[in-house]
RNA sequence: GGAGGGGUGGGUGAGUGGCUAAUACCAACAGACUGUAAAUCUGUCGCCUGAAAGGGCUUCGCAGGUUCGAAUCCUGCCCCCUCCA
């Protein structure tokens, strides 16, 4: 319910009558909404690691199809920035239209990172993302330019922004299988109590029914000999300015629908077919993404095209809502803007204020 | 006109006399999240009240009836579907 209708820049608590005005651009002051909620305190400032001793990083977050990429693209030239994508789908090669990947021209105009880094049939992981993102960001800084982390994958953004300490334990398919078998035979609870005997803290944090996570915890412990619950202390590396992009739900849904229609008209079906033809099994994470999975169902004759399309839209609506679990309107660490021409001005102002007020201008920092 | 089937909470759909404010699934809402994250998982979900345990009220097409007790049985009515004329 904590949903913000698009608001004019100067909306104040006394001036809520302007809700119906055309989506004016401007900053949404989270304080005006007064919906900092119970239980929220632990997450406050999640995306705001201010420190003048850290390297600068500008971050643009928000739900799908709000216009993050457009804003980043608009901002990049004047900022002298390069874009680091924090998108769990755009990392896959050949998944272009379905992931709304920046076009070739756009990528030529502004340098992008973490796009097209693995094949669709390959595995990809959070840790891999973090490594590559650190590498990319540090490279950008070394070039004396501004890193712009842009994306809607909350966990990925958080891994970089917060500096999560990820256990360096690669997945072990065999171990996973055997643990899974154990769970099937003895129940998920049994596996969970097995975890409890080795790592109580981890067991307390993970729901017994969430098999996948119970298994990962056991895997980490088994392979590294260390507790899973260790390493939960973050090591932030950057001085982050977070900008969020949001609109009212109706507009967002409209934008999503328009994007899906565009994707269909521009070869989503063909793209999916091609990726399948090139040997990527349909059950790979890459093809399990929104859009692709429905089109796969269509290609396998389990769905007709129009219901497939409808479902993509619907599921994407839902997904966009879930993204607000990671990027909260009430998070004072995020400066929320509504998309539009004025947004990039606001963003520039915010960035200037944040970094140029600190002792070291962003551009002077070298890695 | 005749024969049969059916109307259940936002949707689909269980339930055939008390254990039922009503299984399950979906949607909705809220939330968790450290190597699949566009994943995985959780909570709430008639109304009022309570911090909670709980309490109160109104629900299973409509109106009556049987019964200590009815979504469940009986009667009438309304509506929907299938089949035969």
Q: What is the ipTM of this complex?
A: 0.84
What pLDDT, on a 0 to 100 scale, did the predictor assign at position A211?
Answer: 94
- What is the distance in angstroms between the CA of the first residue and the CA of the last residue of chain A? 43
Q: Which nucleotide is nearest to A176 (CA to C1')?
A: B36
What pLDDT, on a 0 to 100 scale, did the predictor assign at position A222?
Answer: 93
Q: Which nucleotide is nearest to A169 (CA to C1')?
A: B35
Q: Which nucleotide is nearest to A91 (CA to C1')?
A: B38
In whole angstroms, B53 C1' to A235 CA is 44
* Euclidean distance between CA atoms A57 and A123, whole angstroms: 27
Higher pLDDT, A146 or A366: A146
In whole angstroms, B77 C1' to A31 CA is 59
In whole angstroms, B3 C1' to A307 CA is 39
What pLDDT, on a 0 to 100 scale, did the predictor assign at position A150?
Answer: 98
Query: How far is CA A87 from each of CA A25, A63, A92, A112, A153, rounded to the nearest angstrom?
Result: 25, 11, 10, 12, 5
Q: What is the pLDDT of residues A232-265, one digit of tens each?
A: 678 899 999 999 999 999 999 999 999 999 999 9
In whole angstroms, B59 C1' to A35 CA is 34
What pLDDT, on a 0 to 100 scale, did the predictor assign at position A340?
Answer: 87
Q: Which bases of chain B are contacted by protein, using any atom under 7 A from a CB? A: 27-42
**pLDDT score of A225 more than 70:** yes
Q: Which nucleotide is nearest to A212 (CA to C1')?
A: B40
Percent of chain A with pLDDT over 70: 82
8 Å CB contact between A326 and A155: yes
What pLDDT, on a 0 to 100 scale, did the predictor assign at position A126?
Answer: 96
- The arithmetic mean of pLDDT across residues A174-193, rounded, is 93
Q: What is the pLDDT of residues A104-148, one digit of tens each?
A: 999 999 999 999 999 999 999 999 999 999 999 999 999 999 999
Mean pLDDT, rounded, of chain A:
84
8 Å CB contact between A99 and A92: yes
What pLDDT, on a 0 to 100 scale, did the predictor assign at position A27?
Answer: 30
What pLDDT, on a 0 to 100 scale, did the predictor assign at position A356?
Answer: 76
What pLDDT, on a 0 to 100 scale, did the predictor assign at position A21?
Answer: 25
Q: What is the pLDDT of residues A1-58, one digit of tens each?
A: 233 333 333 333 333 222 222 233 233 332 222 222 233 333 333 445 555 568 999 9
In whole angstroms, B68 C1' to A28 CA is 63
Q: Is the dihedral of CA A20, A24, A30, A36 positive or negative?
A: positive
């Amino acid at each position: 319910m904590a949903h913000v209708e698009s608001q004019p820049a100067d909306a104040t608590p006394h001036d809520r009558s302007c809700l119906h005005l055309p989506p004016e651009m401007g900053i949404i002051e989270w304080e005006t909404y007064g919906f900092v909620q119970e239980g929220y305190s632990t997450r406050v400032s999640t995306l705001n690691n201010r420190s003048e001793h850290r390297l600068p990083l500008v971050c643009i977050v928000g739900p799908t199809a709000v216009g993050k990429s457009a804003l980043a693209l608009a901002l990049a030239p004047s900022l002298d920035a390069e874009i680091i994508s924090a998108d769990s789908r755009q990392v896959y090669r050949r998944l272009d239209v379905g992931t709304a990947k920046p076009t070739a021209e756009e990528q030529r105009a502004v340098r992008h990172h973490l796009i097209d880094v693995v094949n669709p049939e390959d595995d990809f992981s959070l840790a891999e993302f973090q490594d590559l993102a650190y590498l990319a960001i540090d490279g950008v800084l070394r070039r004396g330019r501004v890193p712009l982390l842009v994306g809607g994958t909350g966990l990925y953004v958080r891994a970089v922004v917060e500096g999560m300490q990820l256990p360096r334990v690669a997945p072990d398919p065999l171990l996973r299988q055997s643990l899974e078998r154990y769970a099937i035979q003895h129940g998920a609870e049994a596996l969970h109590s097995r975890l409890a005997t080795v790592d109580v803290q981890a067991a307390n944090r993970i729901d017994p029914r969430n098999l996948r996570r119970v298994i990962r915890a056991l895997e980490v412990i088994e392979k590294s000999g260390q507790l899973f619950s260790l390493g939960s202390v973050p090591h932030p590396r950057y001085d982050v300015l977070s900008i969020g992009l949001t609109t009212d739900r109706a507009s967002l849904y409209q934008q999503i629908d328009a994007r899906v229609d565009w994707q269909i008209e521009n070869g989503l079906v063909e793209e999916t077919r091609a990726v399948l033809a090139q040997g990527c099994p349909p059950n790979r994470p890459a093809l399990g993404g929104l859009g692709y999975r429905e089109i796969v169902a269509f290609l396998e004759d389990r769905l007709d095209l129009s219901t497939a399309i409808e479902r993509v839209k619907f599921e994407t609506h839902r997904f966009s809502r879930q993204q607000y679990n990671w990027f909260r309107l009430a998070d004072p660490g995020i400066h929320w803007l509504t998309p539009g021409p004025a947004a990039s001005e606001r963003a520039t102002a915010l960035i200037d204020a944040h970094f140029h007020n600190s002792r070291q201008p962003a551009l002077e920092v070298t890695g």
